Amino acid sequence: MIKSIVRPSSMHLLTEFFFRFSVLALVVLLIQGCATPVGIEPVDIQTGYRLNTENALSSGRPSEASKTVLRRNGLMDRFENEPEKVLAELHAELKPSGDENKLFTLAELSLLHGQKTENHAYFLAAAVYAWSLLFPDDGQGIQIKPSDPRYRLTYDLYNKALAQGLATRNEHGSDEVEVQLKPGIYQLPFGTLELALDESGLSWGGYNLEHFISTAFLEIRGFRNRYRSPGLGSTLAASISHEYSAANVAGANRLGPQTKVPVTLLARFNRARSALATGQIKGQLELYANDQSTTVSVDGRIQPLEFDPTAAYAYRLDDNPLYSMEILNFIKGGLFAGAIPENRAKDGLFTIYPYRPGKIPLVLVHGTASSPLRWAEMINEFEGDSLIREKYQVWVFLYDSANPINYSAGVLREALENTLNEFDPERKDAALQQMVVIGHSQGGLLTKLTAIDSGNRFWDLVSDTRFDKITVSPDVESLLKRSLFFKPLPFVKRVVFIATPQHGAMAAASEWVTGLVAKLVTLPQTMLRGFAQAAAASGDEKLLAKLRRPPTAADNMNPSNPGLQILASIPVVGIPAHSIIAVKGHGPKEEGDDGVVAYQSAHIDEAISEKVVRWNHSCQGQPEVIEEVRRILFEHLATLPMTTD
């Protein structure tokens, strides 16, 4: 039997189609909710800011401005796959003038591609594009509004790209970006860059500069604040050569061997905007030390130079050998001197920067078992203060802190006099005569001995023979006068004592401690020979007793020590003295101490100001202490005659 085939009607098929379509549409609608092809999505503050300011330097991705140029030209996807072709096309389409949007895009994308490929040609191209945008040939400057994020970003693109474009393999094998400064012809993606070198900037303080490390790619540690001034140019930390390049430069021997100089590198491109069409760019490399130049003129306009002094200073202190020597040098003595090259000052006085006339010396004297490195926080803060930086020059004193305090004070005084004679032999610089000396702990006692008149009291303490009645060699006579007879230095006009044991240190009160120190430490032979010669010449029993048990700094800080008692009895007069005293805890200051020095020991009646900070003995880097010293330095400026301005 044959069955018949029943076909569905057209109406049935149409009904089924509309049913399925309706179901599908409903599913799509449910999936999309109320979304439209164009809409918004609320975000938080940080996300919103990132979306509007993201750029090659902050995130490694193009800014929205560069993406806009790529999208307008249908190049967004191609840039991911063919970046060099896209950059070449954008370059070829540049108009003879203007075209700021494309210039910015070329600068940013060239830097990105250079970073991705490590091709220096693209970094240099980025610098050229950015310069062309900042300084077009018509002299009108950048045509982007200052409120546009691209305005400052163009400077940053130039600064970072220049350093990377001239980077070389670091010869020390580190990850630091070392910048090579040499004239020559460099390749660009669209031509060549011919660079000359202005060698005048390669000399600083009597030395040649070398080993230029980009500070833009350094993270610092240990400082509270990183002082950096935005501007034009790549910030570098330069080393100084071991030998003088100009031996007659005053103070060259007083710059420390670990000095790192904050400098700024500029590549000045000649009519770069019009030269983009030919592909033949010419320019000159220029170097500016930040203590000598803070601005530069480009096309008749003054541009601030970018500088990063904190990073250069931190780089100087990184792995500095003095840190590891502090305790051992206290015991053994002489290690600091051994770490100083032969062509540097042996009296212990060093400057942070070369001598500059018109700046007041600010002398920092460290304490026991310490070194000038412990002033780093204060120095960084003052170098970050434009007024202090312009008016003061920081000097530091390095000494063996186990030596008798009077002996070390004599070395300090002689070093200060020597330095002034070197810098200003004719005494024409009035600022040098307004010196401020600041001492921490034992350094405060040395500081006091620059500002008092002791008469014969220290000599009478060690000898019963009148000084003019002994016969010794001229060098021993000079040593004894320097160490035992003190008059105020006429150029020291203000002193500051920080946690200073004016009446003795707590630990030094123990005879066991001072005896142990005496057994361990090595005192300078010149001092011992001097006392021996004086004792032999006079037959003085007091001097002979000193030779049997020569005093150390620990003895000198014993509250019962006669020498310390004499020093405490002589007030600073004629110049202002200030005290900053550390006291731990929150109890009454009169009953407190800093763990080393009691308040009652640090207090002196003649101080015109006294600041108590709640901290331990090593307080010289604390904000309260630094701010008090800053206040004192401003006060000092306010009292000066106009001739020192």
User: What is the pLDDT at residue 3?
Assistant: 47
Please classify residue 485 by burial: count the beta carbons closer than 10 Å to its beta carbon, then call 0-12 exposed, 13-18 middle and 19+ buried: middle
13-50 burial, b for 16+ CB within 10 Å, e for fewer?
A: eeeeeeeeeeeeeeeeeeeeeeeeeeeeeeeeeeeeee
As a dihedral over the C-alpha atoms of residue 69, residue 71, residue 77, residue 80, rounded to 10 degrees, the angle is: 20
Amino acid (1-letter code) at residue 592: G
Pairing relation of β-strands 492-498 and 577-582? parallel
**DSSP label of 387:** H
Per-residue model confidence (pLDDT) at position 513: 65
Please compute the mean of the pLDDT values over residues 549-575 and round it to a whole number.
91
pLDDT of residue 19: 63
Looking only at the bridges linking them, the beta strands covering 203-204 and 191-197 are unpaired
Q: Other CB atoms closer than 10 Å to residue 385's CB: what's the count?
A: 17
| Segment among 167-181, 480-494, 508-522, 594-608 with least mean pLDDT | 508-522
d(CA 275, CA 284): 15
Q: Name the helix (H) or strand (E) containing 572.
A: none
Given a contact cutoff of 8 angstroms between Cβ atoms, the answer to whether 356 and 393 are in contact is yes
- pLDDT confidence of 331, banded at 50, 70, 90? confident
Res. 192 pLDDT band, cuts 50 70 90: very high
**Band of the pLDDT at 91, cuts 50, 70, 90?**
very high
Please tell me whether the overall predicted TM-score, pTM, comes out greater than 0.85 for this model: yes
Summarize the confidence of residues 313-324 as an average pLDDT: 89
How far from 593 is each of 259, 609, 625, CA to CA, in Å? 36, 19, 16
* Pairing outcome for strands 392-397 and 360-365: parallel
pLDDT at 372 over 90: yes
What's the pLDDT score for residue 225?
A: 97
Angle between helices 120-134 and 149-165 (to 10 degrees): 140
pLDDT of residue 12: 63
Tell me, what's the pLDDT at 645? Answer: 46
Q: What is the pLDDT of residue 258?
A: 87
- Crossing angle of the two packed helices 562-569 and 405-423, in degrees rounded to 10: 50
Q: Is the pLDDT of residue 32 over 80?
A: no
Residue 433 has pLDDT above 60, yes or no: yes
Coil, strand, or helix at residue 21?
helix
Phi, psi (5° rounding) for residue 37?
-55, -30
Of residues 639 and 514, more confidently modeled? 639
| DSSP string of 448-507, one letter each residue | HTTS---TTHHHHHH-SS-GGG----HHHHHHHHHHH-----TTEEEEEEES--TT--TG
Does pLDDT of 594 surpass 50? yes
pLDDT digits (tens, 9 = 90+) for 259-269: 999 999 999 99
Q: Tens of pLDDT along 126-140?
A: 999 999 999 998 777
Is pLDDT at 569 greater than 60 in this prediction? yes
Selected residue with higher pLDDT from 141 and 360: 360
Q: Are strands 577-582 and 207-214 parallel, antiparallel or unpaired?
A: unpaired
Could you tell me the end-to-end alpha-carbon distance of the chain, in angstroms, rounded to an integer? 126
Average pLDDT, the chain: 89
Q: Which amino acid is at 508?
A: A
**C-alpha atoms less than 13 angstroms from C-alpha of 161 in its C-beta half-sphere:** 32
Least confident of 56-70, 175-189, 497-511: 497-511
Report the interhelical angle of 474-484 vs 525-538 (nearest 10°): 100
Mean of pLDDT values over 275-300: 95
C-alpha separations of 135 from 121, 270, 281 in Å: 21, 10, 14
108: pLDDT strictly greater than 90: yes
C-alpha dist (Å) from residue 215 to 110, 253, 395, 636: 22, 26, 24, 34
Highest mean pLDDT (candidates 22-36, 77-91, 315-329) = 77-91
In angstroms, the CA 491 to CA 489 distance is: 6
Q: Measuring CA to CA, how many Å separate 330 from each of 250, 428, 514, 553, 554?
A: 31, 39, 13, 10, 11
Higher pLDDT, 542 or 617: 617
Q: Is the model's pLDDT at 289 over the cut of 80?
A: yes
Residue 576 to residues 279, 469, 569, Cα–Cα distance (Å)? 65, 37, 17
Task: Examine the pLDDT at 525 and tell me if it is beyond 80.
Answer: no
Query: In the prediction, which pLDDT does 574 show?
Result: 95
Domains of the chain: 55-151 (no CATH), 167-313 (no CATH), 329-638 (3.40.50.1820)
SS3 labels along 88-149: HHHHHCCCCCCCHHHHHHHHHHHHHHHHHHCCHHHHHHHHHHHHHHHCCCCCCCCCCCCCCH
- CB 294 within 8 Å of CB 318: no
Dmax (CA) of the chain: 156
> Would the pLDDT of 44 be above 80?
yes
Report the percentage of the chain scoring pLDDT > 70.
88
The reported pLDDT for the residue numbered 4 is 46
Residue 1's pLDDT band (cuts 50, 70, 90): very low
pLDDT at residue 2 above 60? no
Segment holding 182, helix H or strand E: none
